[in-house]
Amino acid sequence: MKMFTQTKFFTGSVLLVALGFGQTLKAQEVITIQQAVDNTLKNNLTIKQAQFNAAITDENLTQSKYALYPTLSASVSPNLTFGRGLDQTTFQVTNQTSLYTSGNLSSNVNLFQGFSKINQIRQNKLLLQADQTNVDKIKNDLILSVVTAYLQVLYNADLERASKEQLDIANKTLIRENALLDAGNKTLADVSQAKSQAATAELNLTNAQNALSISYLTLGQLMEMQPNQRFVVQAPLIDNVKAVSSAANAEEIYNNALNIFPDIKLANLRSLAAKQAIAVAKGAYAPSLSLGAGLNTSYSYQFDYSGAFPQSSFADQINQRLGQSIGMSLQIPIFNGFTARSNVRRAKITYQNTLTSEQLAKNNLNKVIFQATTDLKAAESRYSSTQNAFDAQKDAFYVVEQRYNVGLVNSLDYSTAQTNRNKAEIDFIQAKYDLLFRAKVIDYYLGKQITF
């Protein structure tokens, strides 16, 4: 992960880094790394989408359990007939208008279906666990993104401060060169060199301010903040950088991450769900046995105004025509165009694919952890080296500056010493934040809370 291209050094206990856009800070919210993480986990829309998906899977699981219950349905069928027809009361053929209504209540329960419903419930449980773990994975990935963006803000803020200091020195040098030119002690070449140095310093400051604004925007977007919301971030103490240790064992970190890292758990759950899908598909091979029961009755009314045919009351007709039924149904699959076989084969292929994805997730985790521990050791060495180089360049520039002030060093040598000092400062800042980031990556894979 390459985060940093340029940086700046700061000392002191706590630095409040200002939001860019060239505005003067007033009363703004101060956000720590933990607050940035909490705001992201609370507001990020990607997390909410994953939670909705988990809620749908939870409902699928509930419905698959309800599928074990018997079904119960009722129906009423009224019919109005005209002309000749059979009187449902006297069973005589008549020529009249009649109302005939039948009712039915039926229930059915599957006694056996190749355990498909049981296996579907088991698969849905695994799918729910997978979706819940996916929420954790997204949160976990966002935490690392927030840490990256947070450190990028700190890095660019230090770069901006260093660029301002470099521009201040360059402007003072230009003023001094112009004064010496007026006094006849400097040439136009000396002034041109100073102007070039000031112009370069001004460009560096502009670039640093732009980079700071963009890094603040990136962090704000992760927290789902509006672009016009202003905040500042709290930087770590310099002592925390010195306290970083690279005594991390890659093998131990990997073994620990296998048990707690959401990516691995998610891949494993998807493999288990795919395996269960094979059992669901195989259920289509088995016979299906179901039990059914029902009640039915009817009522009829003839619109006969002559009174020739006496009609039974509603209650009497319902009781007299009440019928009951109970039965079983056995369905044996013989040939269905190889649909069941194809579904089983597809389920097996999917299972093998998820096993491959699971192993790939483990391999990638192992790779990035070993790379992270190597990067941490290299960052620690580079931090120490760049600190020593920066201290040496500061001392060298101080000596050159003192000699330059009394005319013992020309402007070209002075400009070279200043450039070397600035470069050493930027290298040191970059090494400092690179070391911080590498250390936080190790904490990330250890499952530790990331704090400064």
pLDDT in tens, 388-415: 999 999 999 999 989 888 878 887 788 7
Question: What tokens appear for 316 in the block?
Answer: 């009497």
Choice among 249-263, 279-293, 434-448 with the minimum mean pLDDT: 434-448
CA distance 98 to 192: 114
pTM beyond 0.85: the answer is no
Question: What does the pLDDT read at residue 218?
Answer: 93
CA of 130: how far to CAs of 127, 219, 344, 361, 388, in Å? 5, 29, 22, 15, 50
Predicted confidence (pLDDT) at residue 291 exceeds the cutoff of 70: yes
What is the per-residue pLDDT for 23? 41
Closest CA to 435 of 151, 159, 15, 232: 151
Both tokens of residue 15?
């630095």
Q: Would the pLDDT of 24 be above 80?
A: no
Which carries the bigger pLDDT value, residue 413 or residue 123? 123
Q: Residue 118: its pLDDT value, please?
A: 94
pLDDT of 433 reads 85
Q: What count of other Cβ atoms lies within 10 Å of the Cβ of residue 220? A: 22
Angle, alpha carbons 28-31-36 (nearest 5°): 135
Please report, for the chain, the start and end positions of each structural domain, with discontinuous segments joined by +: 16-446
Please name the residues in contact with 440: beta carbons below 8 A apart, sequence gap of 6 or more: 147, 151, 450
C-alpha span between 435 and 432 (Å, rounded) = 5
pLDDT at 416: 84
b/e for 290-319, b at 16 or more Cβ within 10 A? beeeeeebbbbbbeeeeeeeebbeeeebee
| Residue 94: pLDDT over 80 | no
- In sequence order, which residues have a C-beta less than 8 Å from that of residue 192 and are 6 or more positions away? none
Residue 296 scores a pLDDT above 90: yes
CA nearest to 221, candidates 48, 50, 36 = 36
pLDDT digits (tens, 9 = 90+) for 138-185: 999 999 899 889 989 988 998 898 889 889 888 988 888 888 888 777
Q: Confidence band (pLDDT; 50, 70, 90) for 1?
A: very low
- Calculate mean pLDDT across residues 213-222: 93
Task: Using alpha carbons, select from 284, 280, 288 the residue that is nearest to residue 332.
Answer: 288
Provide the pLDDT for residue 318. Answer: 86
Of 271 and 224, which is predicted with more confidence?
271
Q: Which residue has the higher pLDDT, 281 or 183?
A: 281
CATH superfamily of 16-446: Outer membrane efflux proteins (OEP) (1.20.1600.10)
Question: Residue 151: what pLDDT?
Answer: 87
> Mean pLDDT over all residues of the chain?
84
Token output for 151: 């450190």
Per-residue pLDDT at 243: 55
The mean pLDDT value for 208-232 works out to 90
pLDDT of 234 reads 83
pLDDT in tens, 102-121: 999 999 999 888 899 999 99
The pLDDT confidence band at residue 22, using thresholds 50, 70 and 90, is very low
Look up residue 351 and give its two tokens. 């299972």
Backbone angles phi, psi at 305, to 5 degrees: -85, -5
Break the chain down into helix, strand, coil percent, rounded to 5: 65, 15, 25
Specify the pLDDT at position 106.
94
CB atoms within 10 A of CB 12: 8
Percentage with pLDDT > 90 across the chain: 46
> In whole angstroms, what separates CA 265 from the centre of its chain?
15
DSSP H helices in 183-249? 188-222, 238-242
Write the pLDDT tens digit of every residue in 299-337: 887 776 555 556 778 888 888 889 999 999 999 999 888
Mean pLDDT of all residues in 14-32: 51
The CA distance from 120 to 32, in Å, is 46
Tokens of 246: 């690279």
- Please tell me the predicted confidence (pLDDT) of residue 238: 52
Angstrom distance (rounded) from CA 237 to CA 414: 33
Rounded distance, CA 361 to CA 330, Å?
Answer: 46
Confidence at residue 2, expressed as pLDDT on a 0 to 100 scale: 38
The answer to whether residue 441 scores a pLDDT higher than 90 is no
pLDDT at res. 448: 78
* pLDDT at position 48 over 50: yes
